């Protein structure tokens, strides 16, 4: 399998392209487990239950002016929208992941000796649909 870097990343939230100034993105999916062991069991057994997931996005706040303001307003806490990410870009056959997500938090870091960063945390509200372009 060939390795790839994040330079081809394509990402949208609520229909707006958001990857132009991205620095880092991560998505995590998990599933709840229910302990189904009982009686004379000598080891725990489990059933799968509800799926869950989160994502984190860090952008550089370097576009300035209305573009930066629009990005901050687009991803206000509590905002819900479709989150799409394609780590290898949008060429035919490349993977694409889609899920409804809610912005659970946002942060603006303004260091005195580095670039300003915006960090957004998303809570998935449904199952991630994995497909290809």
pLDDT in tens, 7-55: 999 999 999 999 888 899 999 999 999 999 999 999 999 999 999 999 9
CATH code assigned at 51: 2.40.30.200
65 pLDDT tier (thresholds 50, 70, 90): low
**Residue 35, helix vs strand vs coil:** strand
Furthest-apart CA atoms within the chain: distance in Å: 67
Domain count, the chain: 1
Q: Which of 54, 75, 67 is nearest to 12 (CA)?
A: 75
Residue 1 falls inside a structural domain: no
Residue 91 falls inside a structural domain: yes
Domain that holds residue 77: 6-132
pLDDT confidence of residue 1: 60
Is the Cβ–Cβ distance between 22 and 57 less than 8 Å?
yes
Residue 106 falls inside a structural domain: yes
Residue 61 falls inside a structural domain: yes
């Amino acid at each position: 399998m060939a390795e790839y870097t994040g330079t081809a990343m394509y990402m949208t939230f609520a229909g707006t392209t958001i990857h132009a100034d991205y620095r880092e993105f991560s998505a995590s999916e998990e599933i709840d487990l229910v302990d189904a062991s009982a009686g004379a069991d000598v080891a725990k057994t489990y059933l799968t239950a509800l799926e869950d997931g989160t994502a984190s996005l860090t952008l550089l706040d370097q576009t300035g002016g209305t573009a930066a303001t629009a990005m901050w307003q687009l991803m206000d806490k509590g905002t819900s929208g479709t989150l799409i990410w394609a780590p290898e870009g949008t060429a035919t056959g490349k993977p694409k992941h889609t899920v409804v997500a809610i912005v659970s938090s946002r942060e603006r870091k303004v260091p005195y000796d580095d670039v300003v960063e915006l960090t957004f945390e998303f809570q998935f509200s449904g199952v991630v649909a994995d497909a290809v372009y």
